[in-house]
Structure 1
Amino acid sequence: IDNSGSVLEKIAGLYAERLMSDIVLLVGQREFPAHRLILCASSDVFQVMLMNPRWNESREQRILLQEAPECVEVFELFLRYLYTGRLKISHSTVLPILALADKYNVKDLVDTCGRYMKLHVVSASQQNYLIAWLEYTLTCGHSEIAQVCLNHLKWNFEQVAGREDFASCDIDLLTTVLAQHDLVIHDEMTLYNIVVSWLHRQEERLSLPTPVATPGEPPPSFVPQSSSSALEGVFIPPPPMSITPSCGKLYLRRDSTASSCTDPVDRMEWLTYEVMKFVRFPMMTPRQLADLLLVPLTIKYKEFFVTRMAIGMSFHSAPSSSFSLLLLSSPSLLIYPPSTANLSFA
C-alpha cells in the first residue's frame, strides 16, 4: 500500500488552511504562518535557527527574515514548496528562488533550479537574464550552471553583448571572458567596438544624478595615469545581495562605492585601461588600426592606445625579429590570444 500522495496532500493542507501554525515568518510587509516541524525538516538553517537554544529565534513566535526585494516577491512560492514539493518557476523567478534555497540550504530545490537554468540558458540570454545567472552562480559556487552560462556567453559573444543586461556585466567577468582563447568573435575590431559600447554604458551610469555603481572596483593601489560564519556545518552563501534598479533583477557583486577612485573621470580611466588591455591590436588589419585614430576614446586616452596600435602596426610591417624584440621589451602587454603565446614568429 502506498498512500504517500494522500499524506503529502494533508501536509499541503496545513499550509493552505493555515492550520495549527506555531510560528509566523515576517518577510517584507507580509506575514506567513508556518510550522516549525516542516521548516526544520526542510532546511538545515531553519533547524539550527529554531532548535538551537543559543539563537533567540528558537524562543520567538514571530521571526523577522531579511530578504532582498526579489526574494520577498517569491517567498510564498518558496514556502509552499517546503510543504508540497511543487513549484512553478520561470526565468524571472528562478534566481531569487535559488538564492532562498541557497540561503536556507534546501538542497533538493537548489538542484531543481540548477536543472531549469541549464536547460533554459538560450532563452535566458534572449530575455536579459544570462549575466545575472552567470554572476550569481559563479559567486555562489554553482560551477556546472556557471560553465553552461559561460560557454553560451563565449560562443555567442556578439549576440549577448547586444542585450540590455550586458551593461551590468562585472568587470572581472568581462575581462575573464575577453582572455578566453575560445571566445568566438567576427574579428578584433568587433571586439573593440563591443568593449567601447560597454564603457559608454558605464559612463552613462556614472553620470546619473544618483550614480549607479559601476560593476567591479579598482584596487586600492590604482593611481590614474596621465592622458597626455555562526552556523557550524551549515552552508551560508557569503555575499550580500544587491539590486540593479534599471533591470530590477537580482545581482551579486562588490560595492564599488568603496573604491579609492571616487571621481567618475578617474573611474572611467581605470575601467578603460582594465578592459582594453585584453584587445589584441596586432589581430586588427592596418586599415582598422588607422581608423582607430579617429575614435573619440582613442583620442581621449591617446598615450595608452598609441603604444598598443604601434605594436599592432609593427606586427604587420616589421621583420619577425624586430617584432620579437618588441615583445621582449613589453612583456606586460596582452597583444595576442593565450593559445598563441608559445608560437614562434621566426
Structure 2
Amino acid sequence: MGNVLTFRANFPIMESPPKKKMNKGEASTSGTDVSAEVIDDSKAFVERFTVLFNSSYFSDIKLRVGDQMYYGHKFMLASASKVFGAMFGESPAWEESRQEEITLVEEEACQAVFYDFLRYFYSASIDMTTDKALPLMFLADKYNVQSLRNACVDYMMKHIEELPDKNKTLTWYHYSKMTGPERLRESCKNFIVSNFSVVLDAPDWPEMESEELADFIAMSELCVESEVKLWEKVEQWIMSENNQEFRRENVELILPLLRFSKMTPTELLSLESSELVEQFSDILKPKLAAAYRLHSLASNGICLPTEQVPYRNYTASVYGLRFPFELKSYASIPKIESRICLPCQVPYLPCLDPDTCKTSHVAHFQVNFYPKGHFSTISLYGNFMGRQNDHVTLKVVRHNARVVDTANPGGAVIKDYPTMLVEVTLQLYSKKKALRYVGLTVTKQHLFTSRNPDMLVENVLDLTKLSAEDSPFIVEGSLSGAVFIKVQAVGDHLLEMPVDAATQQR
C-alpha cells in the first residue's frame, strides 16, 4: 500500500451568542419564532399518489387476479407490504422479481375485494362493509399489511352488533379463533352467547363449524327463547346441504348436547315425528325417553341428583326464570330512589307443565340491583340513607319461607327449602339502530342454604360506564335489562362437595 495521509480538520468552535438578561415578567423568545406554523399538505400528498392507482403511468408491474389485471408500482406495494417487498426484491428465490406481470391466486371472496385492497396502498382509505371486512382481513394477513389488518379488526369490533341480515359475527369468530386477535374473539363470543337468537337468523348460520356449534350448545350461559326453538335451528343446520355429507357424525356430536328435559311433554311429543328422530332413532329415542321419565318424576315431587339438567338463560315465560326491569330517567333519578327490587318465584324442580308444577316446587327470592351505587337505609322519621358506596351492586336473597312435605307418611310437616345451587345472570340491554341486544352479561353461582341465604355481587361494572353521557346501556334515557334466577341443582349432596366443585357444577 502507498502512504496514507490522514487529514484532520480543525473547525473553530463557535461561541454561543450572549444570553439576554431577562427582566422580571418578560417572556423568553429564544429559539422560537412566533410566526412559525406547520403547513400540512398531507391531503394533497395522498391525492398525488391516489391518481397513480391502477394507472399505467410509471407502472413497473402488472398484477393479474382472477379475470382482472391491475397496474402496479413496486415501490408503493413494497412500502406497505413485507411480502411484496420480498417478492420484488433481488432474492433469486422469488421469480416474480424478474417478471413484468405476475398472477396472484386468491379465493373468490378475496378477488371481489382486491380492487379495494390495492387501492388502499395508494389512498390509505377504504370503503368498508360487513361483507368486505373478512376478505380484506384475509388479504391483509396474507400480504402482511399490518395497518389494514388493524383497521379491519377495529371495524369488526364496532360492527359485531348488527341485525341478522348483516350480521357476520359467527364468521368473524371462526376466523379470529384461528388467527386472533384475542379481543375480537372474546367480543364475538360474548355477543353470540348472550344474543344467540340474533345469530340463529344470520345468513352464515348454516355454515357454522360443527365443533364450534357443539361448544355453544354445551353452554348453560346460552341465551335463547326455548330449548325447542334451539332444536329447530339445530335441525335446520344439520339438514342443510352444507352438512349433508357428515349428517350422522353431526347428530352424534351435537344432538346429545341438547337438553330435552327442558322441553315440555307436548314439545317432546312433536319431536317424535321429525325427520331426524326417524332417521337417527338409535341416538334420539333414548334421549326422549329420559326426558319423559324426568318429567314424570318431577310431577310427583321427585328430583334425583344424578338426573338434574341445568337451565340455560331461557327467555320464554313458560320457564319462569327471567325477570325484566326498566329504570326510567336514569340520569336524573336520585340515588336513594334508584334501587331496583324484583320479587322472584322460581321453580326448583324440573317441571315445565303448569298443571302439574305445584306451588310447593317454587322458591322465593328477592333481587335488589343498585345501578347508581349500593346504599342501605334506616327508617327514622322517614327514609334516610345510611352507608353507601359507588359500587354497582347485585344482591339476591332467598326468603326463609317454608314448604309443606306431603310425602311424609305421618302427615304434613314443615321443613326448610333444600340446599340449592343457583346461577344468577344479570343482563343489561343496549340498542344500535333497530337492533336491541344484550350489551352486558354478568353471571354468578351461589350455594344457597338455610345458613347462607344471601348472594352479593359487588362491582358489577364501573359506575362511570353507566353514568357517562354516551353510555351504551342508557337507551332513550332509561336503563333496562333482566335477571335470570336458575336453580341448577338441588339436594344435600351439594354440601358434601368441595365449595369450588359445587359452585362450578353445570
Q: Shared fold (TM-score greater than 0.5)?
A: yes
Report the CA distance between 1:110 and its aligned residue: 0.9
Report the CA distance between 1:318 and its aligned residue: 4.0
Where do residues 27-46 of structure 1 align in structure 2 (5 Å cutoff)? 27-46=65-84
Where do residues 150-161 of structure 1 align in structure 2 (5 Å cutoff)? 150-161=189-200
Identify which range, 80-89 or 50-59, moves more after superposition.
Answer: 50-59
CA–CA distance in 2 between the matches of 1:293 and 1:86? 56
Aligned with 1:127 (options 153, 166, 171): 166
8 A Cα contact 2:66 2:111, kept in partner: yes
2:259 aligned with 1:280: yes
Match of 1:15, SS?
coil
Letter in 1 for 2:118: L
Report the CA distance between 1:128 and its aligned residue: 5.3
Aligned with 1:110 (options 127, 136, 149): 149
How has the CA–CA distance of structure 1 residues 280 and 345 changed in structure 2, closer, same or farther, with 3 Å as cutoff? farther
Alpha carbon RMSD of aligned pairs, Å? 2.9
How has the CA–CA distance of structure 1 residues 82 and 279 changed in structure 2, closer, same or farther, with 3 Å as cutoff? same
Report the CA distance between 1:141 and its aligned residue: 2.0
Specify the alignment match of 1:147 in structure 2.
186
Specify the alignment match of 2:107 in structure 1.
68
8 A Cα contact 1:41 1:47, kept in partner: yes
8 A Cα contact 1:44 1:104, kept in partner: yes
8 A Cα contact 1:91 1:129, kept in partner: yes
CA–CA distance in 2 between the matches of 1:270 and 1:4? 58
Larger radius of gyration: 2
Where do residues 183-202 of structure 1 align in structure 2 (5 Å cutoff)? 183-201=222-240
8 A Cα contact 2:50 2:123, kept in partner: yes
TM-superposition CA deviations, 1:275-314 (whole Å, max 9, x none): 1011012323344334433333223322322322233234
8 A Cα contact 2:47 2:123, kept in partner: yes
TM-superposition CA deviations, 1:194-223 (whole Å, max 9, x none): 21222222xxx1xxxxxxx539xxxxxxxx
How has the CA–CA distance of structure 1 residues 73 and 162 changed in structure 2, closer, same or farther, with 3 Å as cutoff? closer
Report the CA distance between 1:178 and its aligned residue: 1.0
8 A Cα contact 1:281 1:289, kept in partner: yes
How has the CA–CA distance of structure 1 residues 143 and 26 changed in structure 2, closer, same or farther, with 3 Å as cutoff? same
8 A Cα contact 2:130 2:167, kept in partner: no
Specify the alignment match of 2:452 in structure 1.
none
Instruction: Give 1 or 2: higher strand fraction.
Output: 2
Paired residue total: 279
CA–CA distance in 2 between the matches of 1:26 and 1:66? 9
CA–CA distance in 1 between the matches of 2:92 and 2:170? 41
Aligned with 1:89 (options 128, 152, 158): 128
Specify the alignment match of 1:214 in structure 2.
243
How has the CA–CA distance of structure 1 residues 15 and 299 changed in structure 2, closer, same or farther, with 3 Å as cutoff? closer
8 A Cα contact 1:27 1:66, kept in partner: yes
Specify the alignment match of 2:86 in structure 1.
48
Identify which range, 110-119 or 292-301, moves more after superposition.
Answer: 292-301
Where do residues 235-314 of structure 1 align in structure 2 (5 Å cutoff)? 264=245, 267-314=246-293
Aligned with 2:304 (options 304, 312, 323): 323
Specify the alignment match of 1:14 in structure 2.
52
Give 5+ residue unaligned stretches, structure 2.
1-38, 313-422, 424-444, 446-486, 493-506
Letter in 2 for 1:78: F
Relative contact order (alpha carbons < 8 A, sep ≥ 6): 1 or 2 greater? Answer: 1
CA–CA distance in 2 between the matches of 1:77 and 1:294? 50
CA–CA distance in 2 between the matches of 1:125 and 1:105? 31
CA–CA distance in 1 between the matches of 2:96 and 2:311? 55
Match of 1:14, SS?
coil
2:180 aligned with 1:180: no
Letter in 1 for 2:304: F
TM-superposition CA deviations, 1:18-63 (whole Å, max 9, x none): 3212111111122212121111110111112222332212222211
CA–CA distance in 2 between the matches of 1:186 and 1:278? 17
Match of 1:88, SS?
coil
CA–CA distance in 2 between the matches of 1:325 and 1:161? 31
Report the CA distance between 1:187 and its aligned residue: 2.1
Letter in 1 for 2:135: P
Using the size of structure 1 for normalisation, the TM-score is: 0.71
8 A Cα contact 1:282 1:336, kept in partner: no
CA–CA distance in 2 between the matches of 1:122 and 1:55? 43
How has the CA–CA distance of structure 1 residues 196 and 121 changed in structure 2, closer, same or farther, with 3 Å as cutoff? same
- Identity score, percent: 27
Match of 1:93, SS?
helix
Letter in 2 for 1:159: V
Letter in 1 for 2:234: V
Specify the alignment match of 2:397 in structure 1.
none
How has the CA–CA distance of structure 1 residues 193 and 29 changed in structure 2, closer, same or farther, with 3 Å as cutoff? closer
TM-superposition CA deviations, 1:141-184 (whole Å, max 9, x none): 23322333333322222233234431122212211211223210
Letter in 2 for 1:38: M
Report the CA distance between 1:270 and its aligned residue: 1.8
Match of 1:134, SS?
helix
Using the size of structure 2 for normalisation, the TM-score is: 0.50
